[in-house]
Structure 1
């Protein structure tokens, strides 16, 4: 049995793992990074980038199909499914290649290939061949698709976001389970590329939208393109000779519910992701776990209950976004490297974007968090984009934006949006939240005409009108920030 002793061991070479390795290496050169499967991040290989490539193709097809609105009459749109998927894979592989080059740049003695598991608090077994004793350990093992048992019957016709991009051609039809971020993005893209799509949900969730009015507005909008029931009653899922059959209770407006069966080529399970911690033998450590079996950790230091073990990225199931994984990897790796000098890292204002059309964005505090913080002393401003000037000009006048502020201080706290250019507006509002700006200060900023951002000004004016502003409260808010 080969044995090795290091200062720091990082398990996983995804986004969080690579950043953790680089951060820890600033403090010690006696470290290893361990990868159990293929190198390449979730984002580059099966997540952010290939999904946006598919969405980009769908947006072009949708724009051409909708050109009649502008008096431009295009010929019948012909979609070459093989060419679409070939470009997705080709460009995806370029992004993955960049990640592989980064890993190849790590010294060979720092890279270990094999599945790691805990023997105890400080020792790891790698592929039953190598024992690594580490002074500190960073868990950055990422996540994988979580598919409920009743969908497994789809067998070889079951797709997840890890496999959908390997299709050589676009299918004729897909049943999508899970109208969360992944399901909505891929489902709408496939629909706009000519695939017959029906989407099923269970809990009523829709892209993580918290506000009831915005959720309903989004639901009505998506249903104009493809059938979507976020609270579906699915009775059976069966594998057929040609694909998958889904039997569900149809609930058409104004009619009695009835059981309906519909056949699809494939079933896409976008039913969430599961942290890759269940094969690490964490029970052999003293780490405290939550009810899901995920290590309990400190949000600002990424330290687990065993203070020399850290967890970062999708593995901790906190905020599964790339920019958060980057921040967490840096904090965890830095603390592992400088241990026992543990320091709190900066956590940025929350920001999430769903790349549907219209887009969904949540920034700063959610409405529930605002209610808890302000104990009723808050205001909500809003704007509809249906009559917003620039949105009407470009034919994207669907959407709602709600902004939240604290009464008395006038402090801007957060926002939620379903509408055009939400990816850009989301950044502006997240920056404002992180800088602890007041609504008045935000309204003092320039708004160019004609821009979609003018809708933000309308919402802020509405919020400003509803807030009771006291100059002394503004001073206190600026000193304490939104977490005060």
Structure 2
């Protein structure tokens, strides 16, 4: 048995783990990076980058289909599924290659292959061949897609988003279970590339939206294009007798049973943190009801221990930017332990790259119902009549912005609308800068631009904030089970 003694041991070589490792090294500490899976981050291999490659192909196909509305009539649309997926895999591999090149530049002595498990609060056993004794440990083990065991029993044609990017051609029909960000992005992209797609959802949520008005707008806009089946339960998934597809049995909101055949079922019902094999009982730290370590989100420290957590393993926000920031905080504090200090947590910003795009930033509606009941107001703009949006024939969606009575401070926003990724960044910056709504309205707005819609919403919000706050009332949309 080999024994390694170090200042910081980082479990997981994804975005969070690499950030933590580099912070520890920058602090002059001896750090080791432990990984039992393939190198290359979730974002590069199976997440944000390959999904955007598929979405880009879908946008190109949709542009051709939408051109006649402008009086432009291209030839017949032909989608070469094999060529689409070849580009997705080729460019995906290129992005992964950049990560691998960076990994190759790390000192070989700092890289340890194998699965790590706690054998004590500061001791790890790696695959039975190495013991790592560390002054501090960072958990950056990432997450995995959730696929229920009963569904997996139907065979390889029930898959997660990770497997989609290994396709060599586009299938004819896919059922997507889940209307969150992943399900919505991939479902719409496949639909626009000529695949028959049905999206199943137990409730009526869409992506990360909580504002009832924005959510209603999103459901209406997306239903114009997609086969969205809300309030539908997946009763069973079975392999076809020929083994060339799956049968999905469901029950709709009216109680009617339905059975349909698809080439694949894509499970997009969420991700689970990779923490169950760490033997956390030996770590001596408190766990929440889901078995996730209890930690301080500003220091990423688990209790008062020498253990820190970062990235998807924290089960907070499974986003690359969050993983990088959490990794920096965890790595810096692990290197300085026991001198732990809060790090920078940025304004939350989440984007679904559907069309229209869906964005939430800052404090969302449901959170404000809890934290600012009776103390916040909202302003809105409907993109249906917004000038630049109508020019581009992208005039669909709704923006709601929130501000605080008294201070006039901008608190956050939820929206579905054209090029919302850019509007979301603009508003997130304003939120993090602590700007008031009036200060935001003093900023320049060119004409004609989509940002003029933001100004419309902010003007309405400013009018509300200038009045006396209404009597506090519970937000009916935020009650449990709603």
State the TM bucket, normalised to the shorter chain.
over 0.9
Shift of 1:37: 0.8
1:440 paired to 2:455: no
Shift of 1:447: 0.6
Other-structure match for 2:7 = 7
Other-structure match for 1:324 = 322
Other-structure match for 2:247 = 245
Q: SS where residue 144 of structure 2 aligns?
A: strand
The 5 A counterparts of 1:39-438 are 39-240=39-240, 241=242, 242-250=244-252, 258-438=256-436
Q: How many residues align?
A: 466
Shift of 1:444: 0.3
Counterparts of 1:386 and 1:292, CA distance in 2: 43
Counterparts of 1:106 and 1:258, CA distance in 2: 58
Shift of 1:218: 1.2
Superposed CA offset, 1:280-311 (max 9, x none):
11111211101111111000000002521000
Provide TM-score, normalisation by structure 2: 0.95
Superposed CA offset, 1:23-80 (max 9, x none):
0012234221001111010000000000000000000000101111000111111000
1:35 paired to 2:2: no
CA contact (8 A) 1:50 1:89 kept: yes
Counterparts of 2:206 and 2:184, CA distance in 1: 8
CA contact (8 A) 1:206 1:230 kept: no
Shift of 1:278: 0.6
CA contact (8 A) 1:349 1:433 kept: yes
Unaligned runs of 5+ in 2: 469-482
Shift of 1:213: 1.9
Shift of 1:422: 0.7
* RMSD after superposition: 1.3
Unaligned runs of 5+ in 1: 471-484
Counterparts of 1:413 and 1:30, CA distance in 2: 41
Counterparts of 1:206 and 1:142, CA distance in 2: 24
Distance 1:279 1:390, change over 3 A: same
Shift of 1:233: 2.6
Q: SS where residue 90 of structure 2 aligns?
A: helix
Aligned structure 1 segments of 4 or more residues deviating by more than 6 angstroms: none
CA contact (8 A) 1:7 1:28 kept: no
CA contact (8 A) 1:408 1:469 kept: no
Superposed CA offset, 1:217-271 (max 9, x none):
21122222221123213333221022111122346xxxx7632211100000011
Superposed CA offset, 1:143-179 (max 9, x none):
0111123322331101211111000000000000111
Superposed CA offset, 1:424-471 (max 9, x none):
00001101110111110000001110001100000000101111279x
Shift of 1:100: 0.7
CA contact (8 A) 2:231 2:252 kept: no
Q: SS where residue 37 of structure 1 aligns?
A: coil
CA contact (8 A) 2:147 2:159 kept: no
CA contact (8 A) 2:211 2:366 kept: no
